[in-house]
Chains A and B, each alone.
Chain A
Amino acid sequence: MAIDSVVELSRLQFAATAMYHFLFVPLTLGMVWLLVIMESVYVMTGKQVYKDMTRFWGKLFGINFALGVTTGITLEFQFGTNWAYYSHYVGDIFGAPLAIEGLMAFFLESTFIGLFFFGWDRLSRQQHLLVTLLMAVGTNLSALWILIANGWMQNPVGAEFSYHTMRMEMTDFWAVVFNPDAQAKFVHTVSAGYVTGAMFVLAVSSWYLLKGRDTEFAKKSFRIAAAFGFASVCSVIVLGDESGYTVGEAQQTKLAAMEAMWHTEPAPASFNLIAWPNEVEMKNDWAVEIPWVMGIIGTRSLDKQIPGIHEIVEKNARRIESGIHAVKALEALRANRNDAAALAKFEAHKADLGFGLLLKKYSADVAQATPQMIALAARDTIPKVAPMFWAFRAMVGLGFWMLALFGAALWFSVKGCFDRRRWLLKAALYSLPAPWLACEVGWFVAEYGRQPWTIYGVLPTHLSVSTLSAQSLYGSLAGFVGFYTVLLIVEVYLMVKFARQGPGSLGTGRYANEAAH
């Protein structure tokens, strides 16, 4: 239906704009709580240094937040501009959490961030703390509703297709809200944001300590970041996404791909620590296996099986065959809404409608699909294994590295001698990019792993796009990437400038490197 390059370019544009956006979001999610902690200590103890900490880290928070807002605007509208059929097909469900996010969360966050920066002299200490807290709550509620929307793409519960309106319609709002997939994602994603905020404060504080300047300020910041970061990194790992992997079929497919599990094994399955996936022969050329581990972390049991790729492909081929009947019956129903035979047939095969639509990539009239086409479409239902396998391992490796780092930082904070452990300070400084890398590869696993679907089992990606020309897509993609890159350079420049200047940039007269004016 849509030409391939438009589909590929639309995916690339969405990936680029979303990944740019997520350079800024995790730092916002995490730093906002660090600001709440620092300001709470200020309100409780009245010590000026905690107010200065809130204001200085708040300044860096603001520089980051500006680009979070900038890149976020795009995402609210890009479903309409570039994914028009998706918007029509699932807007009845997907639009609601986005709109509620605006009403419940984004207004809150954006209104109070103004008072956070401008209200210091006009509000009492308690009032200002309340403002900071409401900003933090708004930020995190915002993530909740966005991840409810995203979770529904992975596990589309509480909705049903209507042949009258040619779209999915909501049948149970609370099922959408309490989608286990969305809840697991929310905890995992905001915790990753908290780790990012903590790593940022930890790394910059370590730099001051290595330089031997603003030490009291830096030591206090380091301690708070170490404790908050350690708790958060534990939360990311323990309450990680794995808990959601048993709930939906999308997640089972993802799990099989990212673990390179080609065959269903007797429970509990073994875990491929490292493997060399062979896409063509659909097997691993070699693998280092650890018995039992996969079954235990994947199912939290010793007796439940985890389906392998071959079995999933086999099952999906049968669903595609059933889906052909659904597509044909739907065409008959659209021509004549009172066709009782078509309705009966449609109801019988409705659950596989999305699988039937997968064939549209190979044949405009799915009734003409050959067995080869069905086999190809079934094979399409598994994302490429190697990128999934390695991206997942990169994320987990970075996660455990940060666990060790925050563990050491907390340990030496408690012992009180962290500022003399130069290796620790250097490790913290050079680990600054780690949480961003982990976040980006994590999102890659989540979204690339859902292919070939935008809504798992419901709507294939190649049908979701707007009817635009490839030229338009090339133009807009270049525009977004160019614009964002310039803004990113400006942002990093300001971030480095103010981080180097340190708390002296507040102009209070209490710190090194006081601003000249």
Chain B
Amino acid sequence: MSTKNGMTRRDFTALSAVTALSFAGLGAQARAQDGTTFVIASNTELDNMDPHTALGNIPWAFFINIYDPLVRVRHDPPTIEPGLAESWTISEDGLVLTFNLRENAVFHDGSPITAQAVKYSFDRLLRLGAGMSWMIDGIIEAHGVEVVDERTVRITLSQPFAPIMQVLPWVFIVNPAIVEANKGDDDGQSFLSSNPAGSGPFELTRFEAGNLYGFTRFADYFVDGGGNVQNVIWRIVRETSSQRLLIERGEVHYVLDLTAEDMNAIEAAPGVKRVIEPTLQPFYLRMNTAHGPLTDVNLRRAVSSAFDYEGMIDVLGYADLLHGPFPANLPGHNAAMEVYRTDMERARDYLGQSAYPDGGIKLTYVYVSGYEQQRRIGLIFLDSLRQLGIDLEIKPLTWPDMVAAARSPETQSDFMAVWQSSNYADLDNFAFPAFHSSQNGNWTNPVFSDPKVDEMVVAARVGTDPTERTRIYHQMQAYVVDQATDIYCATLQRLIAHRDNLQGFSYTPIGSNAPEFFPLSLT
């Protein structure tokens, strides 16, 4: 800030404190930092605020702060902690879960959170069949959720599901009275998509479309303590270079979307703390195993061996090579098997055994337009494939077009660059959506279908014995690697930067880059 005019920013602040402005929700507040307002910059707006239809990193960041699930997931490695439920029991066979709700839990309107509200939320989630409901599809059904008494809920699973506790943090409890009052003809979707009806530690008190969201600490939250942060401003800053400048200047406390280059640039910036942590999000080039040249397993092995893994890591910046389809930091990962690494000799050998020994084919590579790293990886891949005599057409698609193309093997391209999402810390999070044939037609697994893999995925999913599950997963990983179903690329590291006066932040690889506001303090 320039001080040429004889007046610093601090003077401005002092001045404007006199002419303090007020606005809805936050009440009277001085212009500028008062030491309890935490400012976070994100390039993404939340289009849909309905916890039962929205899914993804940004929705997650909002929901964990303005809603409550039965149980929460925190820290690294991810740990399940009490949420609305202060305790729970699980039956011997893993099928019956009983949750005891907190006595003092109330919604933002002051009404108590009862077992009926929990059942109401599960019912609505399952009825709408959107958002996270695919995670519990066929596992929790409406009749399986029962109100035992005001404070007790019993959930009976329709079939065993090992990672059930890992997915429950995604089920957020809504205030039935508010939803019923604004039900409309779409089950309250229009209302909830832009209005909260929750109980979380913060309330959404301000909203300027395309610009910012304001949150205020909920005074009657059922957990005492927390940090000194009273207000949170979530500002939309679309350019990552702007985010970098803002964190450097201390105008925001926390930025979500820095690129690898930005992280390098702020390495020595005073007052800035960088958080670089592994995620559980694997990046694949999914191959079309059901249509076109890549149905040939040897061609798939050839391109898997030709891919420039080191070049890809250079492009991604902060990333770890994947060893097989699953991230290495979860139990059940098979570190012993051999995987494909760049080896043109082997690539040519495999190509020789394929139906296209001299190449001479053209394959397509699609990525989500605007994703720079995916475009660059495409260029590197093009360079590698050319050495096999294979031409690569690189096509950016909008996300809806990509999802639409994934619906059938004929429309699906040969390679699709995609990040698998990490919604819960269990290998099933990848095994089922990405490899089970029931997901065909869905972007998570457009075409791959193999009865052997299906069998293994399901066996591990319903298994209750961890050793047995690990054995099955090891077997499955070795099998898909041998089949070269996809090019398993990398897991990205999470890149966060925050000011060094931020306290109480605990990293978790689940969900979003954005933190829970509750424990945060500014010093």
- Asked if A and B bind, the verdict is no
Interface residues of A (CB under 8 A from B): none
